[in-house]
Structure 1
Amino acid sequence: MSESLERARSTQAFVSKMKKFRGLKKREYEAIKDCMEEMSDGVDRLSKSVQELKHMGQAEGQDFLWHVSNVETWVSAALTDKNTFFDGFAGRALDGKVKDSIRARVLNVAKVTSNALSLVNQFASKQ
Structure 2
Amino acid sequence: MASSSIIFLLLSLLCIVCEARSPTAARSGASNFIKASCSATKYPSLCIQSLAAFAPSIQRSPRQLAQTALSVSLERAKSTQAFVSKMKKFRGLKRRQYEAIKDCIEEMSESVDRLSKSVQELKYMGQAKGQDFLWHVSNVETWVSAALTDENTCVDGFAGRALDGKIKASIGARVINVAQVTSNALSLVNQFASKQ
Q: Please report the TM-score for the alignment, with normalisation by the length of structure 2.
A: 0.63
Q: Contact 1:16/1:36 (CA < 8 Å) preserved in 2? A: yes
Higher RCO (CA-CA < 8 Å; seq separation 6+): 1
Query: Could you say what the CA RMSD is over the residues aligned between the two structures, in angstroms?
Result: 0.8
Long gaps (5+) in structure 2: 1-69
Please give the alpha-carbon distance, in whole angstroms, between the structure 1 residues aligned to 2:185 and 2:126. 16
Aligned to 1:101: 170
Which of the residues 56, 61, 82 maps onto 2:130? 61
Please give the alpha-carbon distance, in whole angstroms, between the structure 2 residues aligned to 1:120 and 1:15. 27
Please give the alpha-carbon distance, in whole angstroms, between the structure 2 residues aligned to 1:126 and 1:56. 16
Aligned to 2:157: 88
- After TM superposition, give the deviation of residue 33 of structure 1 in Å: 0.1
Residues 28-63 of structure 1, C-alpha deviations (whole Å, 9 max, x = no match): 001000000000000000000000111233211111
Residues 11-34 of structure 1, C-alpha deviations (whole Å, 9 max, x = no match): 000000000011111110010000
Please give the alpha-carbon distance, in whole angstroms, between the structure 2 residues aligned to 1:110 and 1:24. 25
Greater radius of gyration (CA) = 2
Structure 1 residue ranges, 4+ long, deviating more than 4 angstroms after superposition:
none
Aligned to 2:55: none
Aligned to 2:95: 26
Aligned to 1:12: 81
Aligned to 1:47: 116
The alignment covers a number of residue pairs equal to 127
Which secondary structure does the structure 2 equivalent of 1:57 belong to? coil
> Which amino acid in structure 1 is aligned with residue 81 of structure 2?
Q
Please give the alpha-carbon distance, in whole angstroms, between the structure 2 residues aligned to 1:27 and 1:41. 21
Long gaps (5+) in structure 1: none
Q: Contact 1:55/1:67 (CA < 8 Å) preserved in 2? A: no
Percent identity between the two aligned chains:
86
Residues 80-115 of structure 1, C-alpha deviations (whole Å, 9 max, x = no match): 112211221111000010000000000111111111
Q: Contact 2:155/2:175 (CA < 8 Å) preserved in 1? A: no
Q: Please report the TM-score for the alignment, with normalisation by the length of structure 1.
A: 0.97
Aligned to 2:72: 3
